[in-house]
């Protein structure tokens, strides 16, 4: 395979995109999934070959995470992606489709259900604002996108996460720019939503539940024991976030 002369530069471009250009990260995620599927690999199989969790691969493909430089290099090696393939990807400038953008947003809102439910309400307000701009009732919008009035009310009130298909229909009817809709990156909610949820859930577990959970993660990941009796305390080191896909 032809060598990649600047894997460090590629990695830095993706890191920059995480904070400043979500479009590039979404394109990369869609491209990575396409290349993986062309090689006949599942997300789990690719994850095993490069030494990360399946959750992390899925998050990368959904534009919710960036692999480390070392893991990124292994992905390019496993998928036999050389410099020419990367240059073609960058030069294509292909924008993600509406369907892909809708799927990305749906995945983000699903994560927000656990980590930051208020974001679902913000999306609902966004929908309501554009509906009211057109002087449509909830029922009129429902007819246009093929759902019930109750569904539209649930979305606008932040009580439900719309499917990717419904997000796409709403974007078409209300002329929503899904590219401009993103999770905030300059506040406490910028911390990984899944990490927030795990921290919140961890604090509420009994010691017995913690031992059961950590025992399972040790067996799945092959990491060292996370409970050290000599310290008589619980510690959640880096292997657990890595296993759950909490990579930077």
Select the more confidently predicted residue: 105 or 93: 105
Per-residue model confidence (pLDDT) at position 128: 93
Is domain 7-92 in CATH 1.10.260.40, yes or no?
yes
CATH architecture assigned to 98-188 = Orthogonal Bundle (1.10)
Q: Is the pTM of this model over 0.75?
A: no
Look at residue 148 in the predicted model and tell me its pLDDT. Answer: 95
Beta-carbon-side half-sphere exposure of residue 63 (alpha carbons within 13 Å): 29
Domain residues of the chain, as ranges? 7-92, 98-188, 205-244
Largest CA-CA distance found in the chain, in angstroms, rounded:
67
14 sits in which H/E element: helix 7-20
Query: What is the structure's pLDDT at 20?
Result: 67
What b/e readout covers 107-120, taking b as 16+ CB neighbours within 10 angstroms?
bbbebbeebbeebb
Equal fold, 7-92 vs 98-188: yes
Distance from C-alpha of 72 to C-alpha of 40, rounded to nearest angstrom:
19
Q: How far apart, in Å, are the Cα atoms of 78 and each of 1, 2, 220?
A: 10, 13, 22
pLDDT by residue (tens digit) across 153-198?
Answer: 999 999 999 998 899 999 999 988 886 665 444 334 434 445 555 5
How would residue 199 be classed by pLDDT, with cut points 50, 70 and 90?
low
What the block records as the tokens of 141 is: 């919008």
């Amino acid at each position: 395979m032809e060598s990649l002369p600047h894997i460090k530069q590629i990695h830095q471009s993706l890191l920059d995109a995480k904070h400043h250009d979500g479009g590039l990260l979404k394109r990369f995620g869609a491209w990575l999934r396409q290349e993986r599927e062309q090689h006949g690999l599942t997300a789990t199989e690719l994850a095993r070959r490069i030494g990360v969790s399946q959750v992390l691969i899925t998050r990368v493909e959904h534009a919710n995470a960036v692999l480390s430089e070392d893991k990124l290099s292994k992905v390019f090696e496993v998928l036999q992606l050389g410099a020419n393939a990367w240059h073609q990807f960058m030069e294509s400038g292909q924008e993600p489709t509406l369907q892909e953008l809708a799927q990305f947003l749906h995945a983000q809102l699903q994560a927000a259900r656990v980590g930051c439910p208020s974001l679902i309400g913000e999306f609902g307000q966004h929908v309501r604002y554009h509906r009211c701009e057109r002087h449509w009732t909830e029922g009129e919008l429902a007819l246009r996108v093929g759902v019930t009035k109750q569904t539209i009310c649930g979305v606008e009130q932040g009580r439900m996460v719309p499917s990717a298909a419904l997000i796409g229909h709403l974007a078409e009817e209300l002329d929503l720019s899904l590219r401009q809709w993103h999770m905030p990156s300059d506040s406490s909610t910028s911390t990984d939503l899944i990490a927030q949820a795990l921290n919140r859930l961890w604090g509420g577990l009994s010691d017995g539940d913690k031992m059961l959970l950590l025992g399972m993660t040790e067996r799945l990941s092959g990491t060292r024991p996370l409970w050290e009796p000599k310290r008589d305390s619980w510690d959640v080191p880096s292997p657990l976030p890595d296993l759950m896909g909490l990579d930077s």
